[in-house]
Amino acid sequence: MPDELQTSGEDDHADYLIEARNISKQFGSTLANNCVNIAIKPGEIHALLGENGAGKSTLVKILYGALKASSGTLFWKGKPAEVSSPSAARKLGIGMVFQHFSLFDSLSVTENIALALPKGFKKKQLAEQIARVSHSYGLPLDPHALVADLPVGVRQRIEIVRCLLQNPDLIIMDEPTSVLTPQEAEQLFVTLKRLTDEGCSILYISHRLEEVQLICHNATIMRHGKVVHSCDPSKETAASLAQMMVGGEVHSITSHRQTATSKTLLEIDALSLEGSGPFSVSLKNISLQVQGGEVVAIAGIAGNGQGELFDVLSGETRLKDSYAIKYLGVPCGRRRVNARRRLGAAFVPEERLGHGAVPDMSLTENVLLTRHRSGDALVSAGMVNKSLCHALEARIIDEYDVRMAHPGSEAGALSGGNLQKFIVGRELDRRPRVMVINQPTWGVDAGAAALIRQSIIDLARSGAAVVVISQDLDEIYEVADRISVISRGQLSKAEPVATISREKIGLLMAGMAENQQDNEGPYAA
């Protein structure tokens, strides 16, 4: 902790756009923030790093007015400030782009953005301004598009543009690249550089340490509610930053790659499905076989059919052709989600809050969501076995290091990474024969990502067939035995990880294989 943050006098506040001094926040017996100090200068990108549950989310909610500190003082442009609510924060000039999108699916881009702006905007004028500003900052949006039809990468743009239209002096960004492709992330970095050149400051929360090294001027690192380090990330390595975050070495992942020799446990045969909306992606003649003992990863740029494919595999979208999908040799194209689970399948969706878990339910209640019909004896004769549910919750929390402010926390009260660990742990705890997981480590810290990835590999090595849908190429190369690429609803032939290069994956992502006319091309079954 630098001495100047502990001992500087009142006159020094003017050096910073925002400064938090001795901020503490207590929830019952849990001290989520313990005398936290952080100061951000005008025009800088300042990283806030730490493990899931380190206190980052609590701190930024205090800065944004969503929570009130138990003690401590905030200074804004050199003067003490009371940030009593998000609207008060926005009036000061503080904007926030949340990790979990706060968008209404049934509304258009313009209507969603209008909800966060002062009254008085005419819809036509606002739509024109959205189009102009979004293109100006390299984040193009169609103002009239329905949010429900947009992929997650475009939804992220809406959040950022909505924030920009409020002309903020400080933007808090929580895991902004977790749903972006590498190309989209690079464009975001260009946008952030332009914003800081214009004098805007960025408080940047991310678990992707390489990008923190690349774009951030300073970093504050938290652990167990306290600030433990401050540094210039460009002078550190990703490994040294990770060690500061966790207080020790991050365990390396052991893959024990092997050639699967077990029987086929998941088979997709000539699966096709018309898109359900004007912005949805049609699936075209997809075929894939996954054997027990292997991890097959599906790479791709957001919005190329990953969500539609997951929904079909999970049974949320059912097919006319029952034989298009087989689990353990059983035709399942027409079967519902629970019928597939009873066969031994498990599913982890991309959107954890609202899809993978119900925010207002406790973790114990969320255990029931995917396991009440899976033969775990959680429900018998219409009665819930609460003691067994509590025991399952405790086992998942312990094995996957799920941290929360207090026992009995609702799912919505957990940080994004801790909720992800809980949802993944809930499914892995069943020891499924087949698992389909979409974006397994979205928004989790380095230690948690290593834990989840190792658990996926271990499940496969125990004889299960695992499909990982991910936009993170580093993750894919770390866990996969074979890699396939989805582009515009078409799936390439899965190739061994040792023989498929990043360059080829990039070409397949961009749809360069579309010109292949013969049946032996990259998108052949």
pLDDT digits (tens, 9 = 90+) for 426-451: 999 989 999 999 999 876 777 788 88
List the domain boundaries for the chain: 1-92+210-250, 252-344+432-525, 354-430
Q: CATH topology of 1-92+210-250 equal to that of 252-344+432-525?
A: yes
Q: Are 117 and 164 in contact (CB under 8 A)?
A: no
CA distance 480 to 255: 9
Long-range contacts of 76-79 (CB under 8 A, 24+ apart): 76/17, 76/18, 77/14, 77/17, 77/18, 78/13, 78/14, 78/15, 78/16, 79/13
Three-state secondary structure call for residue 515: helix
CA distance 323 to 481: 26
Residue 141, pLDDT score: 92
Q: Which residues on adjacent β-strands are paired with residue 434?
A: 345, 465
* Chain position carrying tokens 């992800």: 420
Q: How confident is the model at residue 519 (pLDDT cuts 50, 70, 90)?
A: very low
Q: What is the pLDDT of residues 120-145, one digit of tens each?
A: 778 899 999 999 999 888 888 999 99
Q: What is the pLDDT of residues 88-110, one digit of tens each?
A: 999 999 999 887 778 888 899 99
Return the H-helix or E-strand segment holding 203.
Answer: strand 201-205
Q: What is the mean pLDDT of the chain?
A: 86
CA distance 165 to 133: 8
Calculate the CA dihedral of residues 381, 382, 387, 391 and round it to 10 degrees. 100
pLDDT at 514 over 80: no
User: How much is the average pLDDT of 407-412?
Assistant: 82
Q: Does domain 252-344+432-525 have CATH number 3.40.50.300?
A: yes
Q: Which residues on adjacent β-strands are paired with residue 230?
A: 220
Can you say whether the dihedral through the CA atoms of 446, 449, 451, 453 is positive or negative? Answer: negative
* Number of neighbouring beta carbons within 10 Å of residue 379: 16
CA distance 239 to 367: 35
CA distance 352 to 417: 10
Q: What spatial distance separates the first Cα and last Cα of the chain, rounded to whole Å?
A: 57
* DSSP at 146: B
Please report how many Cα atoms fall inside a 13 Å half-sphere around the Cα of residue 143, on the Cβ side.
Answer: 18
Can you say whether the dihedral through the CA atoms of 442, 443, 446, 447 is positive or negative? Answer: negative
Residue 479, pLDDT score: 93
Can you say whether the dihedral through the CA atoms of 147, 358, 153, 163 is positive or negative? Answer: positive
Q: What is the pTM of this model?
A: 0.68
Q: Are 443 and 206 in contact (CB under 8 A)?
A: no
Q: What is the pLDDT of residues 355-384, one digit of tens each?
A: 899 999 999 889 888 887 766 678 877 788
Three-state secondary structure call for residue 404: coil
Q: How confident is the model at residue 255 (pLDDT cuts 50, 70, 90)?
A: low
Integer CA distances (angstroms), 197 to 163, 166, 200, 215, 486, in order: 17, 18, 7, 13, 37
CATH superfamily of 1-92+210-250: P-loop containing nucleotide triphosphate hydrolases (3.40.50.300)
CA distance 218 to 413: 29
Return the H-helix or E-strand segment holding 100.
Answer: none
- Burial call 144-171: b when 16+ CB within 10 Å, e when fewer: ebbbeebbbbbbbbbbbbbbbbbebbbb
Residue 196, pLDDT score: 94
CA distance 395 to 443: 23
Return the H-helix or E-strand segment holding 458.
Answer: helix 446-461
CB within 8 Å of 260: residues ≥ 6 apart: 291, 292, 293, 294, 481
Q: Between these two residues, 1 and 358, which has the higher pLDDT value?
A: 358
Q: Which residues on adjacent β-strands are paired with residue 353?
A: 357
Residue 182, pLDDT score: 65
User: How much is the average pLDDT of 245-249?
Assistant: 76
Q: Are 396 and 389 in contact (CB under 8 A)?
A: no
φ and ψ of 296, to 5 deg: -105, 120
Q: Are 505 and 299 in contact (CB under 8 A)?
A: yes
Secondary structure of the chain: what % helix, strand, coil (to 5)? 35, 25, 40
